[in-house]
Structure 1
Amino acid sequence: MISRVVQRVSVSSARTLSTRARGRAAILEKHPDDVVITFAKRTAMGRAKKGQLKDVPVDELMHGLFKATLDKTGLDAAAIEDICVGTCHPPSPLYVSRAAALAAGIPAEVPISTVNRLCGSGLQSIRSIATAIESREISLGIAVGVESMSMNPRPTPQVVEAVGANAQAYDCVRPMGWTSEMVAEHYKVPREVQDKYALISHTRAGKAITDGTFADEILPIELRGSILSVDDTVRMGVTAESLASLKPVFPDWGEASTTAGNASGVGDGAALCIMTRRDHAEREGLDIIGKYVASTFVGVEPRYMGIAPIYAIPRILAETGLAQEDIDVWEINEAFASQFAYCVEQLNISMEKINPNGGAIALTHPLGMTGTRQVITGLAQLRRQNAQLLCTSMCVGSGMGGAGIFVNEA
């Protein structure tokens, strides 16, 4: 009995070699207890209120994704030991997530949880499953990110007077558009610069749609008799002139430089990653397409929420012993061009490596899905480039940010 307890403690206290490893060469090594990704796909995304998913609630969306995943992979659903769903605004998210899993044929014995770290919810779900695998609490789990901003738009947060009297507390519940204007005003990011970065996103995404690039990462799902396999969120033919002609959407805040063309789209979608240990994947004959290395979250001044990648990215690089030059592809969320432009220029990362197929300004930003989609999109791009290291990052509502490191092994 004592020996079993000692063994359990020693296993639980150990971190995986991939997480302990520092530096590019060490991180690229393969070890039996690495946390690996065997399947990473997303649904096509839809434009909120107008697109192909506008009437589809999150339970129906997840149900379709779970069923398609089981059909595509042939995974024995009984082998799943835990599911973690990252999502922000659907009511009773645990109930509807559990119901969707059960209806898709996942056994009642498979538990499920939900997490809400706003725009970082998808990355948080990946981190939660990775942590459970690292500690050997489970051998295989699924991390999900989902949001229907059509059916469940952001509610207005309410705090009591005693809490709201604190300036930071008041700022942390202000609208996201207000934080965009505060970043633009305080850090001197003019409308012209915002539109310049927005045009890059729109142009790249338009080309990716035309070339069918996203077919590598989209898992077609059947909903209400139709097969959905292509995003309907990208506006084709955006030009510098069309962006410049747009009126501000927040005329009463800051310098009123945020527009519908230089802010992330509001949309719907779901994504998931199947994760396990390397030795388990090899024993079960599962294809390994990637490896989770590490992730981190930081807090920043709520008023300037959007600048958080400036702090999250250096932290994750320091924790993993990597330099910016080691990263082959960056997926940095474009919540607003104001914050995205400032982060890119402060971090001094080449735009050639960032969001090569466009980002949320063009593609859309279903809040709970984005952190998962970035990993799926980034790994797919690494495969196309025959490259190895991905860094994802995003700002997070209320004044936080996240970042993660992943390896392509396909």
Structure 2
Amino acid sequence: MGSRGHIVVVGGGIIGVTSAWYLSRDGWQVTVIDQGEIGRACSYGNCGLVCPSHVLPLTEPGAFKAALTAMLTPNSPFRIQPRLDPALWSWLWNFAKRCNKRSMLSAAHAIQALLTSTLREYEWLVSEQDVACEWQKKGLLFPYLSPQAFESYAATNSLLTEVFQEPARKLSTQQAIELEPTLKDSIAGAWFYEHDAHLRPDRLIASLQTQVEQRGGAFLEQCKFKGLQTQEGRIDAIETSHGILTGDRFLFATGAWAPMLNEHLGCKIPIQPGKGYSITMPRPNRCPNIPMIFPEHRVAVTPMLSGYRLGSIMEFVGYDESIRPERLELLRTGAQHYLHEPLGKPELETWYGWRPMTYDGLPVIDRSPRWNNAWVAAGHNMLGLTLAPVTARLVTELIGAETPHLDPTPYGLARFQ
């Protein structure tokens, strides 16, 4: 049992579970609730990449125009389902306004502060805290088919090198194949980020959960949030499908569902669910050693110690729960362009998850403006797994009224009001 008080964490994904680990280590008694199973939503089937190279947000100059072009392209990895949804169109308008270099660089500096911290946290968790997650630090490859697309990435690499000190190594076709022999010789070349890492997300969550439980923490599944019991600017308890849960502090880490709490928390959390897909299978006989992203086809490949995963796609289709076969086929056919043996057999699991996308590319890590004992940690876009440890550390510092190890201002709710 903790000695500092009781914290209820609403949301049992990677952000909620990692936060529970840090909070319990800091002396809090923790109860985590989830409307489904712990760690089974967007945290479960993602590609497991931990990417200090992913400094730039999606709001790059020209990104909105490219998105519109993709919408009109059959079988595009990017898709928006046209519908009468004011929140979606407001989100897209705000996204479009930020697709300029000034906004991109501002967000990128805030993202890099998190990325720098989170890599140190992960290495500490794995090396000193016995967190088991199939951690491998083998870098990340960006192979290209088109010589023009391959060469055009040089401008992005120059920006990342000069402004963010995050360079990639440019590899010719032969150099790329020498580094990763599973690549076909039809590639034009590749860019290699040496400092990136990868892990198995479900193993990470299971390991963290076990350690929290060993410290006296509790996890409640199929436990739906229903409302708040409050007085004088504080939350006393939350109402759930399992009954009333009292607490001294409350953390809302609900990912793509965060906007549904706007009225309860007295704030605006403009998150749209960005649907992604993955296929998990055994490692093929000729299995890559290094994770890869194929930018021209928007497909990621992750060789884990105990399996192999293809993933990606971005769909703005609301909270749609279907798994569309043609979207999965884009993953298979995309990988076939690059790899001698792109698929393992049999396919063990097909999956979808809703990434919590903010229009400025930054997460929300802040206290509720209405309640002085409630915090929000959500909106991590495509970097939830990457940023989980730094978010958890920052949340723990804020809840414990400690001096935060980095400036939390860029991740505040005030930017949306």
With normalisation by structure 1, the TM-score equals 0.27
Greater strand share, structure number: 2
